[in-house]
Structure 1
Amino acid sequence: MNPAENSSTAANGASARGAKDHIVIFDTTLRDGEQCPGASMTFEEKLQVATLLDDMGVDVIEAGFPIASDGDFESVREIAKTVKRSVICGLARANPGDIDRAGEAIKPAARGRIHTFIGTSPLHRQFQLQLDQEQVYERVISSVTRARNYTDDVEWSPMDATRTEHDFLCRVIEAAIKAGATTINVPDTVGYATPEEYFELIRMLIERVPNSDKAIFSTHCHDDLGLAVANSLAGVRAGARQIECTINGLGERAGNAALEEVVMAIRTRGDIMPFETGIDSTHLMRASKLISTVTSFPVQYNKAIIGRNAFAHESGIHQDGVLKNAETYEIMTPESVGVTKNALVMGKHSGRHAFREKLKDLGFSLGENALEEVFKRFKDLADRKKDVYDEDIEALVGDEILTAHDRVKLVSLSIVAGTRGPQRATIRLDIDGTERMEEAEGNGPVDAVFNVIKKLVPHEATLELYQVHAVTGGTDAQAEVSIRLKADNGEVTGRGADPDTLVASARAYLSALNRLRARVARTHAHAATP
Structure 2
Amino acid sequence: MMEQVRIFDTTLRDGEQAPGFSMNEDAKLRVARALAALKVDVIEAGFAAASPGDARAIARIAEQVEGPVICSLARTTEADIRAAGAALANAPRKRIHVFLGTSPIHREAKLGLTPAEVLEKIRTSVALAREYADDVEFSAEDAIRTERDFLVEALSVAAASGAMTLNVPDTVGYTTPDEIYELFRHLVAHVDRPREAVFSAHCHDDLGMAVANSLAAVRGGARQVECAVNGIGERAGNCALEDVVMALKTRADVFGVSTGIDTTRLLAASRTLAQATNSPPPRNKSIVGANAFAHESGIHQHGILKNRETYEIMKPEDIGLATHGIVLGKHSGRHALVARAKALGFALEGEALDRAFAAFKEVADEVGIVDTARLMAILAGSGREGRQSFWSLKKIDIRSPASAKAWPVARVELEHGERGLVTDLASAPGALDAAFAAVSQIMGVPARVDKIELQYIAADAEEPASDGQGANVLIEITLEVEGELFSGRARARDILPCCLAAYIDAAANAEAVSRFRQTPSERAEAA
| Contact 1:174–1:212 (CA under 8 A) maintained in structure 2 | no
Question: After TM superposition, where is structure 1 displaced by more than 6 Å over at least 4 residues in a row?
Answer: 415-418, 472-476
Deviation per CA, 1:101-142: give whole Å up to 9, x if none: 000111100100000000111111111111111111110001
Matched residues in 2 for 1:183 and 1:151: separation?
13
Matched residue SS, 1:88? strand
Matched residues in 2 for 1:322 and 1:343: separation?
9
* Residues 110, 412 of structure 1: alpha-carbon distance in 2 compared, 3 angstrom cutoff: farther
Matched with 2:488 is 477
In structure 2, which of residues 240, 254, 265 is the aligned counterpart of residue 258 of structure 1? 240
Matched with 2:208 is 226
In structure 2, which of residues 31, 37, 56 is the aligned counterpart of residue 55 of structure 1? 37
Matched residues in 1 for 2:297 and 2:228: separation?
32
Matched with 2:452 is none
Matched residue SS, 2:189? helix
Q: Is 1:35 aligned to 2:17, yes or no?
A: yes
Matched residues in 1 for 2:76 and 2:196: separation?
22
Identical amino acids, percent of aligned pairs: 50
Matched residue SS, 2:215? helix
- After superposition, residues 97-496 of structure 1 pair within 5 angstroms as 97-211=79-193, 213-341=195-323, 387=373, 428=429, 468-471=474-477, 477=488
Matched residue SS, 1:319? helix
Shift of 1:415: 6.5
Shift of 1:298: 2.4
* Paired amino acid for 2:488: A
Q: Is 1:25 aligned to 2:36, yes or no?
A: no
* Residues 413, 388 of structure 1: alpha-carbon distance in 2 compared, 3 angstrom cutoff: farther
Length-normalised TM-score, structure 1: 0.64
| Contact 1:154–1:180 (CA under 8 A) maintained in structure 2 | yes
Matched residues in 2 for 1:276 and 1:204: separation?
23
Deviation per CA, 1:359-411: give whole Å up to 9, x if none: xxxxxxxxxxxxxxxxxxxxxxxxxx99499xxxxxxxxxxxxxxxxxxxx99
Structure 1 unaligned segments of length 5 or more: list them. Answer: 1-18, 345-384, 390-409, 419-425, 430-465, 481-497, 504-530
* Paired amino acid for 1:470: E
Matched residue SS, 1:114? strand
| Contact 2:477–2:487 (CA under 8 A) maintained in structure 1 | no
Shift of 1:315: 2.0
* Residues 476, 79 of structure 1: alpha-carbon distance in 2 compared, 3 angstrom cutoff: closer
Matched residue SS, 1:68? coil
* Residues 186, 471 of structure 1: alpha-carbon distance in 2 compared, 3 angstrom cutoff: farther
Shift of 1:275: 0.9
Deviation per CA, 1:124-171: give whole Å up to 9, x if none: 111111111111111000110000001110000000000001111111
* Paired amino acid for 1:477: G
Matched residue SS, 2:126? helix
| Contact 2:476–2:487 (CA under 8 A) maintained in structure 1 | no
Count of aligned pairs: 365
- After superposition, residues 49-88 of structure 1 pair within 5 angstroms as 49-88=31-70
Matched residue SS, 1:299? coil
**CA RMSD, 1 decimal:** 3.1
Structure 2 unaligned segments of length 5 or more: list them. Answer: 327-370, 376-404, 414-426, 431-471, 480-484, 492-497, 504-527
Matched residue SS, 1:63? strand
Matched with 2:393 is none
Matched residues in 2 for 1:386 and 1:326: separation?
21
| Contact 1:206–1:213 (CA under 8 A) maintained in structure 2 | no
Deviation per CA, 1:320-354: give whole Å up to 9, x if none: 1111110011000111111122799xxxxxxxxxx
| Contact 2:474–2:489 (CA under 8 A) maintained in structure 1 | no
Matched residues in 2 for 1:144 and 1:388: separation?
61
| Contact 1:161–1:169 (CA under 8 A) maintained in structure 2 | yes
Choose 1 or 2 for highest CA Rg: 2
| Contact 2:75–2:81 (CA under 8 A) maintained in structure 1 | yes
**Larger RCO, structure (CA 8 Å, separation 6 or more):** 1
Moved more, 35-44 or 314-323: 314-323
| Contact 1:476–1:499 (CA under 8 A) maintained in structure 2 | no
Matched residues in 2 for 1:412 and 1:134: separation?
69
In structure 2, which of residues 67, 71, 76 is the aligned counterpart of residue 94 of structure 1? 76
Matched residues in 2 for 1:415 and 1:251: separation?
43
Length-normalised TM-score, structure 2: 0.65
Matched residues in 2 for 1:479 and 1:73: separation?
44
* Paired amino acid for 1:122: P
| Contact 1:67–1:73 (CA under 8 A) maintained in structure 2 | yes
| Contact 1:205–1:212 (CA under 8 A) maintained in structure 2 | no
